[in-house]
Amino acid sequence: MCGSSVTPFISFGKQPIANGFLKKEDFGKEYFFEMQVCHCQKCNMVQLAEQPDREQMFNENYAFFSGTSTHMARHFEQFAQTVRTRFLSEAKDPLIIEMGSNDGIMLRNFKGWGYRHVGIEPSANVAKVAQDQGVNTLVRFFDEDTTELLLKQYGQADVFYSANVMCHIPYIGQIFKGISRILKPSGVLAFEDPYLGDVIEKTSYDQVYDEHTFLFSVLSVQYLAGLHGLEIFDVEAQETHGGSMRYYIGHKGQHGITAAVENQVLKEKALGLASLATFEQFRKNCEQSRADLVKLLTDLKRQNKRVVGYAATSKSTTVLNYCGISSDLIEFISDTTPNKQGKFSPGQHIPVLAYENFKKNYPDYALLFGWNHKKEILEKEGDFMARGGKWIVFVPQVGIE
Ligand code: SAM
Ligand code: TMP
């Protein structure tokens, strides 16, 4: 991001495409890369050393449909309301652009209110779900060419939004440059992504996977914005995805900067997010977590207990491959997404089965890969727990609940 060299502090070993659920006949051609994470002393960015090409991850077979979580649908509806009242109440015929609009979970709100909007979504299968609901969606990556196209066809935007996308894009400088051109002078860039501070505090190392090029902090985003004539004017911590941060950014000097920004910077310094020693400690915590989880699963296996994975999340790919957990420890993974079902988990090749398989024959233990959806999941799994079913968790610590 800033052009200086980075220091690696952990390797999660050979990892496959996190959302690359596959059929048996494709095992032989599966792609792996060395997943190493680095820190930059100059700009404080935490990032992957190497990443697969974007088309390998985002294409017409993309497995992640945002709408599978009703909590997330509510989250985006609330946020759309906030954007509307905070930034659009006085705008004339405003334009909202979303990068990585997926199945339209956010933009459909603006569509419903009759606003001019456009989603940029390269994964054709998820984009189709949005298009079918009338959400205006261009099937392409946001980059320099798309910036030109948007400026020509739509003009400048009042709000440029993205959730869980910015951190996916290695050519982040190009993205920020494009956004700084697309935003009206008073325009607002609002984006949210998993937050480095939460990952460090909770040892939630499963936030590291191929798609997540960066783990942002206010410190690193501040540096990045500054390179493009932009500045953060507000930040808001979010509970989504196990702890995220929302950044509000505008052209320099256009918005009053809230106290939340400086407060968060102070918190980050206190947490050691500018210090390599913090990341060294994080590595040790990850190693401990791995040892604890493997021991727990091995002990349960010895006791002939049935263990099933709950939710074939992208994050679970890191856990399974870093810990070397395969189908001798986990019988199958239950998931509600139709196009993951009947396939196998990336790398470890654990069968992924429809949720009905979990319901009709409860295991003794469910390993909660979807820990970030815990509230939603526990609410609907009262029956499993009433029949003595237990949860295995690994964030912030390995344990049974
Ligand atoms: N915004 C949704 C949400 O928060 O649920 C979807 C997030 S999903 C993890 C990431 C999305 O970003 C995918 O739908 C992917 O196709 C899209 N994406 C990846 N790179 C992109 C790029 N350069 N421009 C636009 N979208 C991109
Ligand atoms: P994510 O953590 O990468 O967002 O993935 C969410 C996955 O979890 C998605 O494949 C659907 C699955 N899921 C379930 O199987 N059951 C559930 O109750 C929830 C909330 C998600």
Q: Give the pLDDT band of residue 292 (cuts 50, 70, 90).
A: very high
At 205 the pLDDT is 98
> Are residues 64 and 162 both part of a single domain?
yes
Closest atom of ligand 1 to CA, residue 66: 5
Q: Which domain holds residue 247?
A: 51-274
Higher pLDDT residue, 52 or 346? 346
Average pLDDT over residues 19-43: 96
Pocket of ligand 1 (CB under 6 A): 54, 58, 62, 64, 66, 72, 99-100, 102, 105, 120-123, 126, 141-142, 163-165, 168-169
Which ligand has the minimum distance to the alpha carbon of residue 395? 2
Is 5 domain-assigned? no
Is 29 domain-assigned? no
At 64 the pLDDT is 78
Q: Which stretch of 107-116, 152-161, 318-327, 373-382 has the lowest confidence by average pLDDT?
A: 373-382
333-335 and 307-310 beta bridge pairing = parallel
Average pLDDT over residues 208-215: 95
Q: Which stretch of 51-60, 142-151, 250-259 has the lowest confidence by average pLDDT?
A: 51-60
> Are residues 266 and 284 both part of a single domain?
no
> Are residues 325 and 203 both part of a single domain?
no
Integer Cα distance of 320 and 294 in angstroms: 10
Is 13 domain-assigned? no
- Please give the C-alpha separations between residue 193 and each of 211, 247, 386, in angstroms, as whole numbers: 12, 9, 35
The SS3 of residue 337 is: coil
Q: Which of 274, 301, 330 is the last residue in one of the domains?
A: 274
State the total domains in the chain.
2
At 61 the pLDDT is 84
> Are residues 142 and 215 both part of a single domain?
yes
Integer Cα distance of 218 and 259 in angstroms: 13
Please say if the pLDDT value at position 63 is more than 90. no
> Are residues 64 and 88 both part of a single domain?
yes
At 56 the pLDDT is 85
- The CATH number given to whatever domain includes residue 84 is 3.40.50.150
Torsion of CA 19, 20, 22, 28, to 10 degrees: -150
Is 255 domain-assigned? yes
> Are residues 263 and 325 both part of a single domain?
no
- Sheet containing strand 390-393, edge to edge, reads 352-354, 333-335, 307-310, 365-368, 390-393, 399-400
Integer Cα distance of 96 and 116 in angstroms: 6
Q: Which of 225, 259, 274 is the last residue in one of the domains?
A: 274
> Are residues 380 and 267 both part of a single domain?
no
> Are residues 103 and 231 both part of a single domain?
yes
- The CATH number given to whatever domain includes residue 286 is 3.40.50.720
Integer Cα distance of 325 and 295 in angstroms: 11
> Are residues 364 and 219 both part of a single domain?
no
Closest atom of ligand 1 to CA, residue 175: 23
338: which 2 tokens?
């139709």
Please say if the pLDDT value at position 369 is more than 80. yes
> Are residues 229 and 325 both part of a single domain?
no
Are 19 and 57 contacting, i.e. CB atoms less than 8 angstroms apart? yes
> Are residues 246 and 131 both part of a single domain?
yes
| Complex ipTM value | 0.94
Question: Would you mind telling me the total number of residues written for the chain in this entry?
Answer: 401
At 155 the pLDDT is 97
Q: Give the pLDDT band of residue 52 (cuts 50, 70, 90).
A: confident
Is 213 domain-assigned? yes
Pick from 58, 107, 162, 210 the residue to mutate for probing ligand 1's pocket: most ligand atoms within 8 Å of its CB.
Answer: 58
> Are residues 140 and 225 both part of a single domain?
yes
Q: Give the pLDDT band of residue 51 (cuts 50, 70, 90).
A: confident
Q: Which of 253, 274, 295 is the last residue in one of the domains?
A: 274
Which ligand has the minimum distance to the alpha carbon of residue 125? 1
